[in-house]
Amino acid sequence: MSAWPLVHEAVLDPTIEPFVKVHGEPAYSYYGKMPEMNGLMRKAMSGVSVPFMTSVLDSYNGFKGVKQLVDVGGSAGDCLRMILQKHRFIYEGINFDVPEVVGEAPSILGVTHIGGDTFKSIPAADAIFMKWVLTTWTDDEYKLIMENCYKALPAGGKLIACKPVLLDDSNESQRTRALLEWDIFVMTIYRAKGKHRTEQEFKQLGFSAGFLHLRLYRVLDY
């Protein structure tokens, strides 16, 4: 909470986040040093992701043909658990997150937890799932994560990124307002230059990392 009074400073100087000004380090490394914060973050992600994934899995069928799936930034592994329960043909799941998070994750049948850093390398699999990860990073960091995803996949492999897509022109709708409000949250806590992106921006960043085709599936008007 102590970062919020500094929110305007992220606009004046986007090179340093309000969270860093207050705590002296970025949010994820701060959580990693505080088991209680880390536990709260895992719990919060489960709380929002479980109902959300139930709806996604009702309408999205792009996992067909996948045998090994890595969930990048998968937190405690809830998303992967739900995907594997629904799609029994996926015989191997890898839940990849920072060591402090996977170290506390529960064991899940068919899932191996691997600790690491998306900016260094990502475990190989024939498809990658990544939900609610890219918004918190700058364009350069986003590109680096995408390059590491590209390296982790075989030719023709698939990256399934689950993200809200911003309209080209912002409007007065509740959805646009909610996404832009969320940008302010990201700007304050994670990265002053992190943001939601449009379809065209996703396409360009993916293209610059080697992903030549982008197919958009709309689920939940998301």
Ligand X SMILES: C[S@@+](CC[C@H](N)C(=O)[O-])C[C@H]1O[C@@H](n2cnc3c(N)ncnc32)[C@H](O)[C@@H]1O
Helix axes 78-86, 35-59, angle to 10 degrees: 30
Of 9 and 150, CB closest to ligand X: 150
Task: Based on the shown chain and the rule CB under 6 A, indicate whether residue 79 belongs to the binding site for ligand X.
Answer: yes
Of 129 and 211, CB closest to ligand X: 129
Task: Based on the shown chain and the rule CB under 6 A, indicate whether residue 206 belongs to the binding site for ligand X.
Answer: no
Calpha distance 93→98 (Å, rounded): 16
Task: Based on the shown chain and the rule CB under 6 A, indicate whether residue 101 belongs to the binding site for ligand X.
Answer: yes
How far does Cα 13 stand from its chain's mean position? Answer: 25
Of 100 and 126, CB closest to ligand X: 100
Of 9 and 182, CB closest to ligand X: 182
Quickly count helices (H) and strands (E) in the chain.
Answer: 9, 7
Enumerate residues 6+ apart whose C-beta is below 8 A from 208.
Answer: 143, 146
Options 66, 98, 105, 159; binder of ligand X; rule CB under 6 A: 98
Of 46 and 68, CB closest to ligand X: 46
In the complex, which residue's CB is closest to ligand X?
73
| DSSP classification of residue 220 | T
Task: Based on the shown chain and the rule CB under 6 A, indicate whether residue 4 belongs to the binding site for ligand X.
Answer: no
Which range in 5-13, 16-24, 131-139, 199-207 contacts ligand X by CB under 6 A? 131-139
Strand partners of residue 198: 166
C-alpha count within 13 angstroms, C-beta hemisphere, residue 203: 8
What residues make contact with ligand X under the rule CB under 6 A? 28, 45, 49, 73-75, 79, 97-98, 101, 117-119, 131-133
